[in-house]
Amino acid sequence: MNKNVLVTGGTGFIGSHLVKKLLDLNYNVHIIVRPDSNIELLVDCIDKISFHEYNSDYSSIEKAIVDSKPDVVFHLASAFIAQHKDYEIEKLICSNILFGTYILEAMANNNVDKLINTGTSWQHYKNEEYSPVNLYSATKQAFEDIVKYYSEIGAVRSIHLKLFDTYGKDDNRPKLMKLLKNSSISNQRLEMSEGNQLLDMVYIDDVINAFIRAYELLSEGYLNNESFGVSSGHRISLKNLVYKINEVTGNDLPVTFGSRPYRNREVMDPWSTFETLPGWSPQILLETGIKYFFEV
């Protein structure tokens, strides 16, 4: 009998790729959505997915857990805000802490004991054990600490996957690679910093394989409340990334370096003291990922 799995954040870029991979592996996939969730990324498999609605209260989460009876919860739902405004604090807290805690409590109350949580390398500014880059990463760390409590009381077993810079062929998020692709298509000049910050670019297929491997490890029963970095193993400066894209695509991206200041607490050198998930390694080289993304 195929196992049930529950995914939060399943309508997003990474989550939708995970949902499709789980379907390919013949799991019964359940996802939690809000009433206003955009399910466009799942239209080609919508009839294979069971949807559960979250109405901003605990009871809707417990109903989702009870109805789906998952063997594991993949928790990817998150509000990402690089530089928050005061009116965005509530959104960060509710999405990144309250919602996840509802999930944990419902799991504990219904004997669902496996959680794969999604964190960020930005929880470790300048390689510190705890030094969040911004409020977003502070909320991710706060939730990880809450998971530790549920792990220590024996309610859940967890693995935290901390992501670096993710990208993929159909990535429409307004992030770096999409901005560069839009600039290439429109030929509109893109104003950037000096470009000396190092990036760790991980292709979406490798990211998804990390989630699948984490589930395998949890199912084997050897790990609990451990964190791993999902890294490409290679760093490249923003400036050299643009040069690499030009080399691979044969284009000349209209980018002006040095026309914008670095952000406050800019990550110049990504987290490097992480452990790598046992049995997982990245397979997609940057050059290959660029070809896929820019459809070369």
The pLDDT value given to residue 214:
97
Instruction: Select from 3.90.550, 1.10.10, 1.10.540, 3.90.25 the CATH code of 169-199+234-294.
Output: 3.90.25
pLDDT per residue of the chain (296 residues) written in tens, 0 to 9: 689 999 999 999 999 999 999 999 999 999 999 999 999 999 999 999 999 999 999 999 999 999 999 999 999 999 999 999 999 999 999 999 999 999 999 999 999 999 999 999 999 999 999 999 999 999 999 999 999 999 999 999 999 999 999 999 889 999 999 999 999 999 999 999 999 999 999 999 999 999 999 999 999 998 899 999 999 999 999 999 999 999 999 999 999 999 999 999 999 999 999 999 999 999 999 999 999 999 97
Burial (CB count within 10 angstroms: exposed 0-12, middle 13-18, buried 19+), residue 21: middle
Nearest to 180 by CA among 82, 48, 294, 84: 294
The pLDDT value given to residue 27:
98
Domain boundaries, the chain: 4-166+201-230, 169-199+234-294
Query: Which CATH superfamily hosts domain 4-166+201-230?
Result: NAD(P)-binding Rossmann-like Domain (3.40.50.720)
User: In whole angstroms, how far apart are CA 120 and each of 135, 140, 160, 166?
Assistant: 12, 7, 9, 11
- CB neighbours (10 Å) of residue 74? 29
**What percentage of the chain's residues is helix, strand, coil (to nearest 5)?**
45, 20, 40
The pLDDT value given to residue 296:
75
The pLDDT value given to residue 1:
65
**CA 243, CA 237: separation in Å to the nearest integer?**
10
**CA 42, CA 49: separation in Å to the nearest integer?**
9
Amino acid at site 55? N
Contact 115, 75 (CB under 8 A): yes
Half-sphere CA count of 292, side-chain side, radius 13 A: 15
DSSP state of 16: H
**CA 148, CA 242: separation in Å to the nearest integer?**
40
Q: DSSP E strands: which ranges in 37-172?
A: 50-53, 72-75, 114-120, 157-163, 165-167
